[in-house]
Structure 1
Amino acid sequence: MSSSFDKFQKRRLISSYFSVVLSVFLVLFLLGILGFFIINSKKLADDFKEKIAMTVFFKSEANDSILKAFGGELKTAKFAKSYDYVSKEAAAKQHTDIIGEDFLTFLGENPLQNSFDIHLKADFVINDSIEKIEAGLRKNIMISDIVYDKQLVNLVNNNIKKVSMWILITSIFLTIIAVLLINSSLRLSIHSNRFIIKTMQMVGATKSFIRKPFVMRSVKLGMIGAGLAILALIGVLVYLEVNFPDLGILDDKLLIGIVLIVVFGLGILITWLSTYFATQRFLNLRTDDLY
């Protein structure tokens, strides 16, 4: 009978430890993913902004020297991340590929213009900056027109503000849930040992002496859960880097290291605090209240 009871107690103890480690792992993994999303959100937003092109069309009178000079200006321009020169012949070929027939055969001449597709740096993809850039470019008398998607620029900037606000709200919400979940798991673990705690107290053990082994055990479980979360996060980062190299997920190694350290630190801090207050609660209970 005693052997069966001991096995039952051992299984229950292992199950309790496993639930704590699993709770810590899942919560810290989600917080780590959120942390990586936050530090990469600006990079992703900037990458999307820099894909919006401003197309500058030149008059037919603009010769090669004028076009080359404009290209040279773009190389040194603070607002230009990159640019592509599209000759009217290349533009005609693109149109032909899109519509599926050569429109030059019945028009007799190429009505298209030489142009530059300019991709602005992310910091300049806001209405005021683009308008100033456009006004400056229009001073060139050889430029016939400047085209870009104004509605898309407005939409991107407005959505980035909304997403940033929701990320902040989600971060606070998940952090609260993280603390509550880990705290709940640890309280259940301590609850199963409430009689041992009270027995030790009744034979004269001090509160700090009783609390120490429970805190140390919980911190070790927190470290295990945090370690597993870090390994899982590194696996996710490597997967994204291999399959989506353009995102440059591993470029900012310092911030990645900070997130991983914070995840590990949270695993220790939350388990330590939760165990401390959980044991304190049972230490302050009367014997009759244990049942």
Structure 2
Amino acid sequence: MTNSFDSFQKRRLRSSYASVIISIAIVLFMIGILGLILLKSTKVANHFKQEVVMSLFFKDDVTKEQIESFRESLTTKPYTRELYYISKEEAAKTYSKDLGEDFLDFLGTNPLKNGVDLYLKADFVTPEKMEELRKEFEKNTFIIDISYDKPLVEQLTKNIKKISFWLLVLSGFFAVVSVILINSSIRLSIYAKRFNIKTMQMVGATKRFIRKPFIWQSIRLGFIGALLALIALSVMIYYIDKNIPALELVKDYISLIYLAVGILASAFIISWISTYFATQRFLNLQTNDLYY
């Protein structure tokens, strides 16, 4: 009879552990997906920002040596990602190709200017910073005109802020849900041992001594759940990368390392906190209250 009861208790304990691991794995998998979206959304936003071009046009009397000197000075600026010099002849060819006819035959002269297409780093592509740069370039005696798509920059900045806000709200919601779900699973596993906790307490064991094995057990279960979540995420990332290679998920090692560390850290922190408060609750209960 005793062996049968012990066997039942062990099966019940294993089932409780499996429930905790699966709950943690599912929650961390969802957190991992959200984290991946957050990491890639920043890269995607930066990609679009860095495609915005600011065109600087030079006066006709500016020499090639002066233009080259100006270009070299631009390459040392903190806002410069890359720049391309476009001569008035190259601009005329491109314009004629877009029109489908040579407009120089009609005008007789080339009205276009020599210029530089300046691509900025993502941090500088905001309405305020680009306006500051425009004012700075206007003071240069070489430059006759400055052009960039101001409405596009404003709309891009506005949309990125809006998307970032809702992603943060969603992240907060998932964080709360994850803590609640994992906490509930761990509390259920500890509930099955509530009589053991009270027995240890009655024979003189300190709260810290009683709590310690429960915390380490939950952390181990948390790490197992985290490893399962990482395996599932790896399969999903491989599948997405195979079907949408433009995202370059597999090649983005830094983001993947951050994601893995974040999931493991979440498993440790949530498991530790949940177990601490769950054991504390049963440690503070009276013996009669253990039956309810």
- State the TM bucket, normalised to the shorter chain: 0.7 to 0.9
**Contact 1:24-1:267 at 8 Å conserved across structures:** yes
Give 1:249's match in structure 2, choosing from 252, 270, 275.
252
Give matches, 1:37-48, under 5 Å: 44-48=44-48
Q: Which residue does 2:222 correspond to in 1? A: 222
Q: Which residue does 1:187 correspond to in 2? A: 187
Give distance in 1, aligned partners of 2:265 and 2:31: 12
SS of structure 1 residue aligned to 2:152? helix
Q: Which residue does 1:53 correspond to in 2? A: 53
Give distance in 1, aligned partners of 2:115 and 2:192: 75
Larger mean Cα displacement after TM superposition, 26-35 or 143-152: 26-35
Does 2:152 match 1:152?
yes
CA distances 1:95-130 after superposition (whole Å, capped 9, x unpaired)? 44445x224386264444332211123343334433
Give matches, 1:55-204, under 5 Å: 55-99=55-99, 101-104=100-103, 107=106, 109=108, 110-194=110-194, 200=199, 204=203
**Contact 1:240-1:249 at 8 Å conserved across structures:** no
CA distances 1:135-157 after superposition (whole Å, capped 9, x unpaired)? 33334455332110112222333
**Contact 2:201-2:210 at 8 Å conserved across structures:** no
Give distance in 1, aligned partners of 2:66 and 2:201: 94
Give distance in 2, aligned partners of 1:51 and 1:205: 69
Q: Which amino acid aligns with 1:270?
A: I
SS of structure 2 residue aligned to 1:113? coil
Q: Which residue does 1:263 correspond to in 2? A: 263
Question: CA-atom RMSD, angstroms?
Answer: 4.2
**Contact 1:81-1:120 at 8 Å conserved across structures:** yes
Cα 1:261/1:122, change in 2 over 3 Å: closer
In structure 2, the gaps of 5 or more residues are: none
Cα 1:211/1:115, change in 2 over 3 Å: closer
Give distance in 1, aligned partners of 2:86 and 2:260: 46
Aligned residues with identical type, % of pairs: 41
Q: Which amino acid aligns with 1:223?
A: F
SS of structure 2 residue aligned to 1:130? helix
**Contact 1:194-1:290 at 8 Å conserved across structures:** no
Q: Which residue does 2:278 correspond to in 1? A: 278
- Displacement of 1:273 in angstroms is 3.2
Give distance in 2, aligned partners of 1:10 and 1:25: 22
CA distances 1:34-57 after superposition (whole Å, capped 9, x unpaired)? 556656765554443222111123
Give distance in 2, aligned partners of 1:40 and 1:127: 23
TM-score scaled by length of structure 1: 0.72
Does 2:285 match 1:290?
no
In structure 1, the gaps of 5 or more residues are: none
Cα 1:213/1:125, change in 2 over 3 Å: closer
Q: Which amino acid aligns with 1:249?
A: D
Give distance in 2, aligned partners of 1:214 and 1:247: 37
Cα 1:13/1:96, change in 2 over 3 Å: farther
TM-score scaled by length of structure 2: 0.72
Larger mean Cα displacement after TM superposition, 123-132 or 51-60: 123-132
Q: Which amino acid aligns with 2:106?
A: L
Instruction: Kindly tell me the number of residue pairs found equivalent between the two proteins.
Output: 286
Q: Which amino acid aligns with 1:290?
A: Y
Give distance in 2, aligned partners of 1:56 and 1:115: 5
